[in-house]
Amino acid sequence: MKISVITVCRNSAQTIRDTLASVRSQTHPQIEHILIDGASTDNTLDVIREFEHVTQCISEPDRGLYDAMNKGIQLATGAVVGILNADDFYADPNVLTKVAKVFEQQQKIAAVYGDLRYVHPRATNRTIRFWRSGPFDPKMFRYGWMPPHPTFFVRRKMYEAHGGYDTRLRSAADYELMLRFLYKFRIPVWYLPEVLVHMRTGGLSNRSLRNRWQANREDRNAWAMNGLQPAFYTLWLKPLRKIPQYLYRSET
């Protein structure tokens, strides 16, 4: 089973080497690694050229993060697609082997997700937060739940059937896509109960209170775009669910 890994980057020279090395070290034999670069002006492309495993690298202006992700999905030829951004790296060399095994053994499964470890942006062996996703239950979306997007692997035909990322959203298109796939269309999904990805802290939606407020508005739009109505507490619980993630640090 071929897995297409899509990495979106722009001026990511300081972090992308870890991303590329983690894909190169994977034990799974069939990997397609597609790089979508937003016309970087630093030496990101020089770093990418050091890694011969990269299948395709396109560098050109785009209309943002999610537009670049859609470009990568359109180029993907693998049966399964995963998104690994330039601040992220796989937790161990067997991640894609484990993911492929689930898809191969569970033929009706359309998506797989796991747990996520947030790490210090420089001291990446230091855990800041630990996102234990838990087994899937669609009604949990109404309680602010979502799977960690970097751990979300999907059969490519699901994108063909239900569409890609909605570029009208600046920070919540990943939430909207998972809400659409898992809650609206109820595609069958499997929880892999282990850390799949390490992600550096500093996400767009959490950099300031203003960004968090904007993200909350976009989360509400994500429901409306799909003709869905969240509970009055849904979108307030979503950021509050992050608090326990800091309490797991001593366990990881």
User: Can you give the residue range of the structural domain that contains 198?
Assistant: 3-251
For the entire predicted model, the pTM comes to 0.93
Q: Give the chain's domain count.
A: 1
Residue 79: HSE in the Cβ half-sphere, 13 Å Cα cutoff? 14
At residue 17, what is the residue type?
R
- Buried-state track 69-97, b at ≥16 Cβ within 10 A, e below 16: bbbbbeebebbbbbbbbbbbbbbeeebbe
Does residue 190 contact residue 155 with C-beta atoms inside 8 Å? no
- Cα Rg, the chain, nearest whole Å: 17
Residue by residue, pLDDT tens for the chain (252 residues) are 999 999 999 999 999 999 999 999 999 999 999 999 999 999 999 999 999 999 999 999 999 999 999 999 999 999 999 999 999 999 999 999 999 999 999 999 999 999 999 999 999 999 999 999 999 999 999 999 999 999 999 999 999 999 999 999 999 999 999 999 999 999 999 999 999 999 999 755 445 556 656 888 999 999 999 999 999 999 999 989 988 888 865 444
Instruction: Locate 195 and state its tokens.
Output: 């850390």
C-alpha–C-alpha distance, residues 226 and 222, integer Å = 7
Give the CATH number, domain containing residue 184: 3.90.550.10
The CA-to-CA distance between both ends of the chain, in Å, stands at 31
At residue 184, what is the residue type?
K
